[in-house]
């Protein structure tokens, strides 16, 4: 099994925890960007119980299984994000 890891950005801002998001990644062979998803996400939870859902423009690392085509978010982050 081979897994590709791609650096990208979140393309959607969901309204609730049950929504799914898409991740946009650059195509290194053209000027276009490729969009993967919809994908489920895990919220970022603070020690005090605050929850943060993804926002459009957050950075994300996307994993893609070469054999099955399965896709998942390996990590998502925004250095300037605040938990609420």
Tell me the pLDDT tens digit for each residue of 10-45: 999 999 989 999 999 987 777 788 899 999 998 888
Q: Which residues contact 23 (CB under 8 A, 6 or more apart)?
A: 6, 8, 9, 10, 11, 35, 36, 37, 39, 60, 62, 73
Assigned domain for 24 exists: yes
Structure tokens at 5: 């890891």
Confidence (pLDDT) at 43: 85
Total tally of structural domains belonging to the chain: 1
Confidence (pLDDT) at 84: 43
Assigned domain for 31 exists: yes
* For residues 49-54, average pLDDT: 85
Assigned domain for 35 exists: yes
Closest C-alpha among 38, 41, 35 to residue 16: 41
Assigned domain for 83 exists: no
**Residue 16's domain spans which residues?**
3-77
The domain spanning residue 46 has which CATH number?
2.40.50
Confidence (pLDDT) at 79: 56
Confidence (pLDDT) at 82: 46
How far apart, in whole angstroms, are the C-alpha atoms of residue 14 and residue 53?
7
pTM score: 0.78
Output the average pLDDT for the chain.
86
Confidence (pLDDT) at 80: 52
């Amino acid at each position: 099994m081979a897994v590709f890891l791609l650096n990208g950005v979140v393309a959607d801002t969901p309204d609730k925890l049950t929504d799914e998001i898409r991740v946009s990644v650059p195509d290194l062979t053209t000027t276009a960007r490729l969009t993967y998803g919809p994908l489920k996400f895990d919220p970022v939870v603070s020690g005090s119980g605050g929850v943060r859902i993804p926002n459009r423009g957050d950075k994300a690392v996307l994993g893609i299984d070469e054999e099955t085509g399965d896709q998942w978010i390996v990590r998502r982050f925004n250095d300037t994000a605040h938990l609420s």
